[in-house]
């Protein structure tokens, strides 16, 4: 066959690949013979051939095949068919915790594939079944249920990589109370040596990340770029490879290329087990945009679970070049450079030779995506192009040995005694709560005024510690005691909040975000407030609610937003703040029709925010790290006085004998301290870095991250520092400032931001130093205004040259460009508007 290249969905490519698949199924499958190869048809009654050369054995009466089930469930269901032809037409049902035990012969990693489908059955509603699955101590599924998805059930194939020692392999299925567990099929197959790396390149680029042999992996995505769906028949390790089109952000940016799979060469260190040659024989490359200078990226977005580290394997094979060293490009992962000016042929020393690179990227608890991009470098001596042949994303188990939830269920301790103890505790708590309510009711009955003209002001109470287990709701118990406060804020009755917002009138909504809606309200003492009402389905829940109350109740400063009170009755999570008429700083910079701020106003706003952060770091009884400093979390009142808001992610700073706080990475894309992201070590200097991004945003009046811009301009910190180091920062400032900014004031401002954005925290100034420098920049500006009457003086920045394009502000902080879309609609509390930027 000859080499061919075509547009997506090409019929010729399809025919070529289909013809090759038959050759692959009979050749590459012979390359690997696993030591352990357990193929189980759960609930089946006779051997079942599924794929070429693969026969699944029934799971009953087959202890001689090297596995057993204990206790052995006698319940199995099947579809109403005379001769089952696939794994999903039968399943085994368990009413109690049961183990599949495999007597393995090889120590090391093993593939585990679980096949799940809720067969219709008159005795068991398998769609509503809730159960957990653990393999060799690693939680794979925690309280899994098909009903949770809200979609019609489909065949589910979950793939994992599990470490196995000399004791063998044990798979545990545990139904939740009153439910059942079920499974249709199981595969346990030993993994070839060298299949997974001991280390991977960290993202952002830094020291290598270890991938210990004892960690488990879970396959999130396995993608065949530019090619068709590949089934287990087409892979020597019986893997499935999906097409990439559903994940492309802009399909017009890419076109597929292909060659005969027999052309693919495997250099030393790469085998057909890494990926079949059909994966390397197809690719996505840059489409022809019919412009003189092609400078754009191909982007793919993949939804993932936050709070985990992911192994990301990229597969490359130059099938589009006619000579060596003609294909050089950049690769980005989550807006961070992964490969810079990457030349595949310099690694493989040949054309059509397979190559792969492994990366490790952490995804914060509040994030839900991995963004992969390829694009041309800033080189003029080669044609602009970029290519990607395949991609695998695998979740790495966390420190709790879980691939599903942060807290691992203790399956080994289930039993009657434990249930009795739990029930006893629950009854005691409920009884205590009822007695407390009765006592409180009696007290109020005998002590309340006869005919009060107004409802008395709500008592001040501590946030209850015996809340429910939900992460989005507080316990339904209503607390109305008049006990003395512990200083956590005024407790407002739900009726009081409802009255203040006119029963949560939609016309009073001033913001909408991840936590819920924000309403403008008026309390009975005529105080105007902003009411943040939690959405029970929000991903931001109890922990942020508690943190916000606890932090703001301890902190009082002119440049921090004040918490007036909170309400936690009737499953509600409501926070009540002082009303900030000016709204978030961001909408005064771009994305709205508000008049532009003057340079003096911008300096004063930055100084106010710096004072608030300086107080957090040094003025409170315990230092506080904000952890989410950005322009939507700096609010303005009617006089443009700035106040720092949103303390839901805040953490207490390190003690005297500590240098940092070790914690999971949280924050917003574009503002995250790179050192904190790499090392998960939080310090006050992390806030300083984020504030440096804010300074650049204030100066340039554009978002911190804007994927719509050319690659070099996407990240404002990188773009601004490029011009700052050239001594030409004035080239990218907000055009509204041109002719009105003193050049010395701008230099001091730029130097301050540059120090804030230093790569390492030890090189950054304290917030006190930042504050001093900003005040000095303001003095330089005011002094020049007093002494220079002519605004076009040579000491002021001249007009921006016409060749510098003005970039319109776009409300986008992350790759999906949706994180802060509501910011322009809110007059208050931007912290509620950005559910995904954490």
Token pair 């942020």 is found at 544
Interatomic CA distance for residues 825 and 838, integer angstroms: 20
- Cβ 314 vs Cβ 350: under 8 Å: no
Among residues 260, 628, 687, 820, the one annotated as catalytic is 628
Pairing verdict, β 199-203 and 138-144: unpaired
Cis preceding linkage at 71, omega within 30:
yes
Enumerate residues 6+ apart whose C-beta is below 8 A from 542: 467, 470, 471, 472, 473, 474, 573
Question: Which residue, among 154, 786, 138, 594, has the nearest Cα to 409 in the 3D structure?
Answer: 138
* Cα–Cα dist 559/252, whole Å: 48
CB atoms within 10 A of CB 762: 10
Please answer whether residues 501 and 531 qualify as being in contact, where contact means their C-beta atoms are separated by less than 8 angstroms. Answer: yes
- DSSP label of 579: -
Q: Would you say 444 and 436 are in contact if contact means Cβ atoms under 8 Å apart?
A: no
Cβ neighbours of residue 248 closer than 8 Å, sequence gap 6 or more: 254, 284, 298, 299, 300
Token pair for residue 56? 């699944």
Single out the residue of 494, 485, 482 nearest to residue 447, CA to CA: 482
Phi, psi for 763 (deg, rounded to 5): -85, -10
What is the spatial distance between Cα 781 and Cα 788, in angstroms, rounded to a whole number?
10
- Asked if 313 and 370 touch (Cβ cutoff 8 Å), the reply is no
Q: How far is CA 297 from CA 46, 243, 419, 707, in A?
A: 52, 19, 56, 10
CB 260 within 8 A of CB 281: yes
Q: Distances in Å between the alpha carbon of 89 and those of 40, 51, 145, 642?
A: 13, 16, 19, 64
Contact 555, 624 (CB under 8 A): yes
If DSSP codes are grouped into helix, strand and coil, which group holds residue 746? helix
Q: Which two tokens stand for residue 641?
A: 């006085």
Q: Which long-range contacts (CB under 8 A, 24 or more apart) does 601-605 make?
A: 601/640, 602/698, 602/699, 603/745, 603/749, 603/774, 603/777, 603/778, 603/781, 604/640, 604/642, 604/778, 605/634, 605/636, 605/640, 605/642, 605/698
Q: Is 755 annotated as a binding-site member?
A: no
Q: What is the DSSP string of 83-135?
A: S--SGGGEEEEESS-EEEEE--SS-EEEEEEEEE-----SS--GGG--EEEEE
**H/E/C letters for each residue in 40-64?**
EECCCCCCEEEECCEEEEECCCCHH
Phi (first) and psi of residue 448, to 5 degrees = -80, 150
Count the neighbouring beta carbons within 10 Å of the beta carbon of residue 600. 15
Question: Phi/psi at 394 (nearest 5 deg)?
Answer: -130, 130
Buried b (16+ CB within 10 A) or exposed e, 67-78: bebeeebeebbe
d(CA 315, CA 661): 37
At 721, list the tokens: 């520092």
Active site residue 628: yes
The answer to whether 399 and 309 have CB atoms below 8 angstroms apart is no
Instruction: State whether residue 497 is helix, strand or coil.
Output: helix
Q: What φ, ψ does residue 50 adopt, rounded to 5°?
A: -105, -60
Binding site listing: 532
Binding site listing for ATP: 532
Please give the positions annotated as active site: 628
């Amino acid at each position: 066959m000859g080499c061919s290249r075509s547009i997506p969905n090409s019929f010729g490519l399809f025919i070529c690949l289909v013809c090759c698949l038959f050759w692959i199924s009979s050749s590459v499958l012979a390359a690997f013979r696993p030591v352990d190869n357990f193929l189980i048809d759960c609930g089946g009654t006779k051997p079942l051939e599924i794929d070429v050369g693969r026969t699944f054995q029934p799971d009953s009466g087959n202890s001689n095949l090297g596995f057993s089930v204990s206790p052995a469930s006698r319940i199995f269901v099947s579809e109403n068919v005379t001769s089952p032809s696939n794994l999903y037409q039968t399943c085994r049902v368990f009413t109690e915790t049961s183990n599949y035990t495999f007597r393995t012969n090889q120590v090391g990693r093993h593939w585990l594939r679980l096949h799940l489908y809720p067969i219709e059955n008159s005795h068991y509603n398998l769609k509503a079944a809730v159960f957990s699955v653990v393999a060799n101590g690693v939680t794979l599924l925690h309280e899994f249920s098909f009903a949770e998805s809200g979609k019609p059930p489909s065949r589910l194939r979950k793939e994992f990589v599990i470490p196995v020692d000399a004791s063998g392999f044990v798979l545990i299925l545990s139904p939740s109370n009153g439910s059942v567990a079920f499974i249709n099929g199981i595969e346990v197959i030993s993994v070839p040596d060298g299949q997974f790396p001991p280390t991977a390149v960290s993202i952002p680029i830094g020291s290598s990340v270890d991938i210990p042999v004892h960690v488990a992996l879970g396959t999130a995505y396995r993608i065949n770029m530019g090619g068709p769906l590949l089934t287990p028949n087409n892979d020597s390790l019986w893997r499935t490879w999906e097409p990439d089109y559903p994940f492309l952000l802009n399909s017009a940016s890419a076109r597929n290329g292909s060659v005969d799979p027999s052309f693919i060469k495997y250099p030393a260190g790469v085998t057909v087990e890494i990926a079949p040659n059909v994966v390397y024989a197809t690719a996505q490359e840059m489409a022809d945009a019919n412009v003189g200078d092609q400078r754009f990226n191909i982007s793919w977005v993949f939804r993932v679970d936050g709070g985990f580290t992911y192994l990301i394997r990229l597969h490359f094979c130059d099938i589009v070049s006619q000579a060596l060293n003609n294909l050089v490009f950049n690769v980005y992962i989550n807006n961070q450079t992964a490969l810079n000016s990457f030349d595949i042929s310099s690694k493989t020393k040949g054309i059509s030779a397979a190559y792969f690179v492994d990366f490790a990227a952490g995804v914060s608890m509040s994030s839900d995506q991995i963004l992969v991009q390829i694009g041309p470098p800033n080189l003029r001596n080669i044609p602009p192009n970029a290519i990607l042949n395949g991609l695998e994303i695998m979740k790495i188990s966390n420190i709790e040995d879980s691939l599903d939830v942060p807290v691992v269920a203790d399956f080994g301790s289930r039993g009657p005694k434990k249930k009795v103890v739990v029930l006893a505790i629950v009854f005691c708590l409920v009884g205590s709560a009822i007695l407390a309510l009765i006592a409180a009711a009696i007290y109020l009955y005998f002590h309340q005024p006869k005919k009060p003209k107004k409802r008395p002001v709500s008592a001040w109470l501590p946030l209850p510690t015996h809340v429910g287990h939900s992460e989005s709701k507080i316990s339904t118990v209503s607390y109305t005691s008049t006990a003395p406060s512990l200083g956590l804020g005024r407790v407002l009755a739900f009726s009081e909040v409802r009255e203040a917002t006119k029963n949560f009138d939609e016309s009073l909504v001033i913001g909408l975000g991840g936590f819920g809606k924000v309403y403008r309200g008026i309390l009975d003492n005529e105080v105007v407030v902003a009411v943040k009402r939690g959405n029970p389905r929000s991903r931001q829940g109890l922990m942020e609610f508690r943190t916000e109350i606890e932090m703001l109740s301890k902190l009082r400063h002119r440049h921090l937003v004040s918490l007036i009170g909170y309400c936690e009755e009737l499953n509600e999570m409501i926070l009540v703040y002082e009303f900030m008429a000016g709204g978030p700083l961001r909408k005064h910079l771009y994305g709205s029709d508000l008049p532009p701020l003057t340079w003096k106003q911008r300096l004063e706003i930055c100084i106010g925010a710096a004072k608030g952060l300086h107080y957090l770091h040094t003025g409170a009884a315990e230092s506080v790290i904000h952890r989410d400093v950005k322009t939507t979390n700096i609010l303005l009142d009617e006089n443009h006085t700035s106040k720092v808001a949103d303390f839901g992610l805040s953490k207490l700073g390190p003690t005297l004998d500590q240098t940092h706080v070790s914690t999971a990475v949280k924050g917003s894309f574009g503002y995250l301290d790179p050192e904190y992201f790499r090392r998960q070590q939080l310090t006050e200097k992390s806030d300083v870095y984020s504030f440096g991004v804010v300074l650049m945003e204030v100066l340039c009046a554009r978002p911190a991250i804007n994927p719509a811009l050319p690659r070099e301009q996407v990240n404002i910190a990188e773009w601004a520092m490029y011009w700052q180091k050239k001594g030409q920062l004035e080239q990218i400032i907000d055009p509204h400032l041109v002719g009105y900014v003193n050049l010395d004031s701008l230099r001091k401002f730029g130097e301050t931001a540059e120090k804030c954005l230093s790569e390492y925290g030890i090189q950054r100034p304290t917030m006190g130093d930042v504050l001093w420098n900003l005040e000095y920049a303001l003095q330089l500006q005011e002094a020049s205004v007093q002494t220079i009457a002519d605004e076009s003086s040579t000491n002021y920045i001249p007009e921006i040259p016409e060749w510098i394009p003005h970039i319109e502000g776009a409300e986008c902080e992350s790759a999906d460009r949706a994180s802060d879309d509501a910011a322009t609609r809110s007059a208050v509390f931007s912290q509620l508007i950005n559910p995904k930027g954490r």
